[in-house]
Amino acid sequence: MSPESVTPMTSSIVASLGSSLQRIMASPTPDDVWNLQKDLLMLGGETAEQARRVAGTFHSCLRNMQSKKASRGASRQGAALGTAAVASVSLQETFAAQNDPLRGLLASGLTAMLEVASALRSAQAWEVEASLMYYDLAWYLYGELWDVSLATRPELSPDQRRACTDLLLNPVLDADVPDATKSALLVRLFQVVLAARIWPLLNSEVSP
């Protein structure tokens, strides 16, 4: 979105997009992600479409977790999501604190992953047959995290990039990691990727 294309209507949509993303970073719900896609469709363009694809998969992930929680009474999974929300950095603070917020978001993703894993180490596993869901989401996120790192860490070699991406997603694929922990990690990683995809849209309005 070029500066000359920014209109009062566009500014309003971008403001709404930023508010929706802030809520999703703090405590993601399917409804907030659903509303996010409306703003992305109104903005249009390839960048918005990339963000909408991430949002669509994230929405399905949250709905699936919500359904599993309701059907099994999995209170521990709810605790996992709560821990992930507490560990999330403030989007506004992150963007204000540095010129390259995406690198900070990726770093916070790893930090939050370790915090969540520590908080839930002694918790009982979330008892659902969710292994296929985890693998499918990990497959999707691997590609997204790789693409995001190309933009934020261009200096990495392919081997280094692979090692970093593996580090983030290996717990999701580890059979010994409790399901509640996997759920929390997936949510956090989706938050990071979604913010990375949306950041250029939010930044375009203030770019010279």
Q: List pLDDT tens digits, range 118-167.
A: 444 434 444 445 677 888 999 999 999 999 989 888 898 999 989 989 98
Contact 33, 61 (CB under 8 A): no
* End-to-end alpha carbon distance in the chain: 12
Q: List pLDDT tens digits, range 160-200.
A: 989 989 988 998 898 888 887 888 889 989 999 999 999 99
Contact 208, 34 (CB under 8 A): no
The per-type count for the chain, helices as H runs and strands as E runs, is 9, 0
Cα–Cα distance between 83 and 161 in angstroms, integer? 27
Sign of CA dihedral 193, 197, 198, 202: positive
Who has greater pLDDT, 152 or 208? Answer: 152
Contact 56, 93 (CB under 8 A): no
pTM, two decimal places: 0.72
Torsion angle (degrees, nearest 10) of CA 178, 183, 185, 188? -160
Q: Which residues contact 78 (CB under 8 A, 6 or more apart)?
A: 69
